[in-house]
Amino acid sequence: MSNLPPNAEFAPEPDSGAAVTGQGADPVSPEVDESVPRTVRRRVPRRVVTPGALRPGAALPVHEPVNQSAPEPVRETAVEYAPEADAETVAEPAPEARPVLMAESAPETRPAREPAIESAPEAEGQPQSAVEPIAPEAEAAVEAAQEVDVEAETRPERELGTQTVETEHAQAAPPAGRIEMPVPSVVRARERAAAAAQNPVVLRTEMLTKSYGQVHAAVEVSLQVHAGSFTGVVGPNGAGKTTVLSMISGLNRPTSGRVTVHDIDVWANGPAAKRVIGSLPDRLRLFDRLSGAQLLYYAGVLQGVKESVVATRATELAHAFGLEPALDRPVSDYSAGMQKKIGLACAMIHAPDVLVLDEPFEAIDPVSASNVTEILEKFVAGGGSVVMSSHSLDLIQRVCDHVAVIVDGSVIAQGTVDEVRGGVSLEERFRHLTESAEPGKGLEWLHGSSDSD
Amino acid sequence: MVARLLRLRLALLLSAFRGPLSRVARHALIGVLAVLAAVVLAALPQFISGPDGAHAPLDTILAAVVLAAAGIVPLFLNRGHLEPRQFGQYPVRSGQVATGLLVSTALSGPVLWLAAWVIALVVLRTEWHEAWWAVAVGGALALLLAICGARVASGLAKLVVSARSSGAVHAVGLLLLVAALPVVVFAVTQALGSPDGRITADAATVLGWTPVGAPLAGIAAAAAGDPETALLHFGVTFAAIAVLIAVWYPIVRLSLERVERPADPGKARQGLDWFERFSARPDSVIGARALTYWARDPRYRVGLAAIPLAPVFIVLALWVAGVDPYLLALVPLPVVLLLFGWSLHNDVAMDSTAIWLHVASGTRGAADRLGRLTPIMLFGLPVLLVGSSVTVTIMGDWRVLPAVIGLNLAVLLVSSGVSSVFSALMPYPTTRPGDSPFAQPAVSGSGSGLAQSLSMVTTVVLALPAVWVAAVAFGDVSFGTNVWALVVGAGYGIVVLALGVLIGGRIFDRAAPELLAATQTFD
């Protein structure tokens, strides 16, 4: 582990194009929130607080298992040891350096690495719960940080939280013979949750309602999405997720209510608002007689991208989504997952500030899914916001920092993932919120043994 | 510089006679045949009008056609020419390049052919020999006009049209030729058929005062013992040559100073078929997309295949009913164009739910409408030109050509305009993308009959004013009524089309989400 110079964290991210301000020494600096030039689109670096985990340019490995299973007392002491500005840059996980597969399947691969981390076997043993222990721990970290905050007044809380963790393995983790593990999405998501709360709200829906006669598909939906946050929209089938998302992206006119992006009303000033939104609807066709390259170009030009830029963006997106070999084939020949991916690429080609994605991971294979997650996390790290719906609570819990639960067209819970789930797993919480009856009740006839005779 | 360019020209000319024997023989044969053709062309008027008939009008008309071609053809066909830009890297003043090119053009193949034609004329027209000064001046003026006209035309074309789009310009030229050929052939044969006719004489008089017809008209006047008129004719051509030379020098200077825009911005479109040929604006890419779909999606082809069949049945029915064949010849083309424009009236539904991309990107309705018109205009206008020309040939009266073009333009533009409104206003279920083009729509009913009949009736009703004006022109065949019919047809059609695009675009802007919802119910 080497020490980076303090200003290394301000290095612009090489591929996002927009310089990103790392949290560094003053994460809640005044320029962060209200000074965002809202009408001026992009090219101005998005000044957004990003969690330390996603700080660009810091391509250093992390001994993450220790990080997870570290006992509390160590952290307490660690706080005192960590006043130096350069210490906090030590253990940055590296989004770029992180191997794609490892990041996503980290819980699963962990048991294999058990010999290296005997100190915390119970946390490592069950892959499913690998996600679980982190959040309470992170909360505790924040709590701890708040306690210390009085002493270290100059130091904002969240930073202390990360810092403690880092310094602690500067102490506790002997560098020799350890297997270096990248930080999984879930840790970044938790860190991001606190960071994003500091950012201005980019997308706001106010009392959004959609009725089809007597049927109410969405009832007074009010959501807020901060810059640099990854928001998941979950709900049972037919709850109105697609309706809400398509009202946000301007595809489905609400019966009443308002949607604003950067204070531009989507339904009053559509063309301007749509320049900052990238959308991927579910179950709508693409212009699939075009080849992949043609479709990307088409979408880029329609969304107002200059011709000189379209070419490079299209190639880079195709490369990022692994679509290069298929670019010359008609999109109608693509598999469902590839169509999702080219749709995603089309949604991103105009570098929007907000991505509204309806079921982006449906039909995408696991490897590509982790790839897509990585792309989206980078997008969020650069200050963009993602709103996505999914059936997979596991996925939402893993990659999202905020979540909104929609049931029967109304939002019944929203906030950071930790707030919403309140200590239990999201799935459990979700089941509780939706109050679904005992599964299988009333299906006795199906079970054969009871009353089949 | 001038001498050097002349030597270069000579070398280029003689290079045709170097190399293998077969190649030399081929070029020599071509040369001999070309000279023979020139002699035949020169002899043609005399041959037609008889040994002592009045062939002067025919001479003037033919000369006008030949000299006009010398100025028009290089606009489209100029790849083989020496051009100013080729000398851009040498330390020469643009004036020298211009003079050198102008002078050295005298040694090019086409000009030598024209010279052969002029010499043949001089030799064959024995009655001119007394006014030898007029023959010399007229012949020289004709050659000079041809040289300057060709140079200016090719220079302008090279300056304005980029090398990338020269293929398209070539195609346009070919198309115009194809479109004009029936009428020109018809008009010329009619003129040659009645060398003493009033039409021929009138045409010759008019053409005699244009720069292209004036040289021979002047010679004829001098030969008839009227040197003042001859000088006036020559003056017209001389003035034209002076203007052309005055234009030529700035063209050369501009060509040497300007560089063609580099191809880099076009890179985004490389290898994207139709998208390569259209600019990166929403309406253009929608047009390119529409063309791609027409080529790749069988649903469009099947829809179009039926269009040529419709007029066959209509003409048969009318013929059985005993309609005058003269009027019958007018019927097929408007019917085809009407159906062609009308075929667009459910275009949004053909896209199915893919239209979401236009909605989500905030594409302007007018751009969407305009883009969809691209294939109609790209194929409709050539069909219109060629078809109109064929129509008047069948009718046997080329004087109604303007009215025929006006009528057909109005029908095509009106039907396109009405379709632009209806495809945004009343989409109805159609075959889904990827389904067999012969399959029934997945969802039926819900206003398909209404939308079809309403759009058709609207088109026919809106086309009536232009049809009426054209009918008046057919009844009273005069130049004035015909040109009026053309102006009214084109102007009225453009107005209706513009209104259709604006109204349809407005509807699209306001109701795009509802349009998307409608296509979702069809899918």
pLDDT digits (tens, 9 = 90+) for A59-81: 444 444 444 444 444 443 333 44
Touching check for A212 and chain B: CB below 8 Å?
no
Say how far apart CA B407 and CA B331 lie, in whole Å: 11
Q: What would the pLDDT profile of B166-189 be if each residue is shown by its tens digit? A: 777 777 888 888 777 777 777 776
Residues of A in contact with B513 (CB under 8 A): 250-253
Nearest-by-CA chain A residue for B512 = A251
Q: Is A153 on the interface with B (CB under 8 A)?
A: no
CB contact under 8 A, A289 and B272: no
A341 at B interface, C-beta within 8 A: no
How is residue B306 annotated by DSSP?
T
Pick among B278, B300, B361, B510 to test the A interface (most A CBs inside 10 A): B361
CA dist A96 and B329 (Å) reads 72
Contacts of B282 in chain A (CB under 8 A): 301-302
Arithmetic mean of pLDDT over chain A = 69
| Chain segment B217-232, per-residue pLDDT in tens | 888 888 888 888 889 9
- Taking the CA of residue A4 as centre, how many other CA atoms within 13 Å lie in the half-sphere pointing to its CB? 19
Q: Do B354 and A285 touch (CB under 8 A)?
A: yes
Q: Which token pair is A219?
A: 């009832």
Backbone angles phi, psi at B247, to 5 degrees: -80, -35
Low-confidence winner among A263-267, B27-31, B304-308 (lowest mean pLDDT) = B304-308
- CA nearest A31: which of A18, A44, A43? A44
Instruction: Assign B397 a pLDDT band (cuts: 50, 70, 90).
Output: confident
Cα separation of B408 and B474, whole Å? 14
Best residue of B273, B357, B363 to probe chain A, by most A CBs closer than 10 Å: B357
Report the C-alpha gap between A40 and A38 in whole angstroms: 5
**What pLDDT, on the 0 to 100 scale, is given for residue B168?**
75
Q: Say what the pLDDT of residue A236 is.
A: 84
Task: Report the run of H or E that residue B102 belongs to, with start and end.
Answer: helix B94-104
- From B362, B364, B400, select the one nearest B478 (Cα to Cα): B400
Q: Which residues of A touch B294 (CB under 8 A)?
A: none
CB of A274 within 8 Å of a chain B CB? The answer is yes
Distance CA B154, CA B85 (A): 12
How many Cα neighbours within 13 Å face the side chain of A103?
27
Residue with structure tokens 């990827």?
Answer: B434
- Shortest Cα distance, chain B CAs vs residue A274, angstroms: 6
Q: What pLDDT sits at residue A82? A: 38
For residue A301, the distance in angstroms to the closest alpha carbon of chain B comes to 6
Q: What is the pLDDT of residues B320-372, one digit of tens each?
A: 988 888 888 899 999 999 999 999 999 999 988 999 999 999 999 999 999 99
A302 in reach of chain B (CB within 8 A): yes
A332 at interface of B, judged by CB pairs closer than 8 A: yes
Compute the average pLDDT of residues A20-31: 40
Task: With CB atoms and an 8 Å threshold, state whether B513 touches A311.
Answer: no
Question: Quick count: other Cβ atoms within 10 Å of Cβ B225?
Answer: 10
Name every chain B residue with its beta carbon within 8 A of the beta carbon of A298. Answer: 275, 285, 289, 357
Phi/psi for A55 (5° steps) reads -60, 130
B275, B293, B360: residue with CB nearest A274: B360
Query: Chain A residue with minimal CA distance to B294?
Result: A289
pLDDT at A178: 57
Please tell me the least confidently modeled range out of A172-181, A333-342, B131-140, B247-256: A172-181
Alpha-carbon distance of A348 to A276, in angstroms, equals 10
Identify whether the C-beta of residue A406 lies closer than 8 Å to the C-beta of residue A234: yes
Contact A249 B360 (CB under 8 A): yes
Contact list, B520 vs chain A (CB under 8 Å)? 284
* Mean predicted confidence (pLDDT) in A354-377: 90
Helix, coil or strand: residue B435: coil
CA B459 – CA B413 distance, rounded (Å): 10
Look at residue A436 in the predicted model and tell me its pLDDT: 58
Whether residue B441 contacts residue B420, with contact meaning beta carbons closer than 8 Å, is answered with no
Q: Which one of B356, B515, B516 makes the best mutation probe of the A interface by having the most chain A beta carbons within 10 Å?
A: B356
Instruction: Out of B268, B289, B433, name the one closest to residue A307 (CB).
Output: B268
Name the residue in chain B with its Cα closest to that of A249.
B360
Nearest CA in chain B to A299: B357
On whether any CB of chain B is under 8 Å from the CB of A276, the answer is no
Residue A313 forms contact with B (CB below 8 Å): no
Contact at CB, A302 and B357, closer than 8 angstroms: yes
ipTM above 0.85, yes or no: no
Who among B264, B434, B516 is closest to A251 (CB)? B516
A contacts of B298 (beta carbons < 8 Å):
none
Total residues belonging to chain A? 453
User: Can you tell me whether residue B410 is helix, strand or coil?
Assistant: helix
pLDDT at A419: 87
Task: Give the lowest-confidence range in A206-215, A354-363, A406-415, B80-89.
Answer: B80-89
Q: Which two tokens stand for residue B229?
A: 């008129």
Residue type at B493 in one-letter notation: G
A284 to B359: CB separation less than 8 angstroms, yes or no: no
Query: Which pairs from A112-121 meet CB under 8 Å and 24+ separation?
Result: A113/A65, A113/A179, A113/A181, A116/A65, A116/A177, A116/A178, A116/A179, A117/A65, A117/A66, A117/A69, A119/A66, A119/A69, A120/A65, A120/A66, A120/A68, A120/A69
Map tokens 């996390």 to a residue: A377
pLDDT(B471) > 50: yes
Chain B contact for A410 (CB, 8 A cutoff): no
Task: Check CB contact of A296 with chain B, cutoff 8 Å.
Answer: no
Nearest Cα of chain B lies from the Cα of A322 at a distance, in angstroms, of 19
Give the pair of three-digit tokens for residue A345. Answer: 């690429």
- pLDDT classification of A34: cutoffs 50, 70, 90: very low
Establish if A297 touches chain B: CB-CB under 8 angstroms: yes
Which residue from A279, A285, A293 is facing B353, i.e. has the nearest CB? A285
Q: Residues B411-442: pLDDT tens digits?
A: 999 999 999 999 999 998 888 888 887 777 76
| A449: pLDDT strictly greater than 50 | yes
Residues of A within 8 A of B273 (CB-CB) are 294
Q: Over range A23-32, report the average pLDDT.
A: 40
Question: What is the C-alpha separation between B506 and B160, in angstroms, rounded?
Answer: 35
Q: What is the residue whose two structure tokens read 């049809």?
A: B467
Chain B residues contacting A via beta carbons under 8 Å: 264-265, 267-273, 275, 279-282, 285-286, 289, 292-293, 296-297, 351-354, 356-364, 433-434, 513-514, 516-517, 520, 523
> What phi, psi does A277 have (nearest 5°)?
-110, 140
Contact A159, A78 (CB under 8 A): no
Q: Which two tokens stand for residue A276?
A: 């900052």
Using H for helix, E for strand and C for coil, what is the string for chain A? CCCCCHHHHHCCCCCCCCCCCECCCCCCCHHHCCCCCCCCCCCCCCCCCECHHHCCCCCCCCEHHHHHHCCHHHHHHHHHHCCCCCHHHCCCCCCCCCCHHHHHCHHHHHHHHHHHHCCCHHHHHCCHHHCCCHHHHHHHHHHHHHHHHCCCCCCCHHHHHHHHHHHHHHHHCCCCCCCCECCCHHHHHHHHHHHHHCCCEEEEEEEEEEEECCEEEEEEECCEEECCCEEEEECCCCCCHHHHHHHHCCCCCCCEEEEEECCEECCCCHHHHHHCEEEECCCCCCCCCCEHHHHHHHHHHHCCCCHHHHHHHHHHHHHHCCCHHHCCCEHHHCCHHHHHHHHHHHHHCCCCCEEEEECCCCCCCHHHHHHHHHHHHHHHHCCCEEEEECCCHHHHHHHCCEEEEEECCEEEEEEEHHHHHCCCCHHHHHHHHHCCCCCCCCCHHHHCCCCCC
B-interface mutation test, from A208, A265, A280, A298, most B Cβ less than 10 A away: A298
This prediction's pTM = 0.69
**CA dist., res. B464 & res. B459, Å (int):** 9
How many CB contacts within 8 angstroms connect chain A with chain B? 110
Per-residue pLDDT, averaged over A388-405, amounts to 88
Q: Are A290 and A302 in contact (CB under 8 A)?
A: no
pLDDT at B480: 85
Spell A133-155 as b/e; 16+ CB within 10 A means b. Answer: bbbebbeebbebbeebbeebeeb
Cβ distance of A289 and B297 shorter than 8 Å? yes
A213 at interface of B, judged by CB pairs closer than 8 A: no
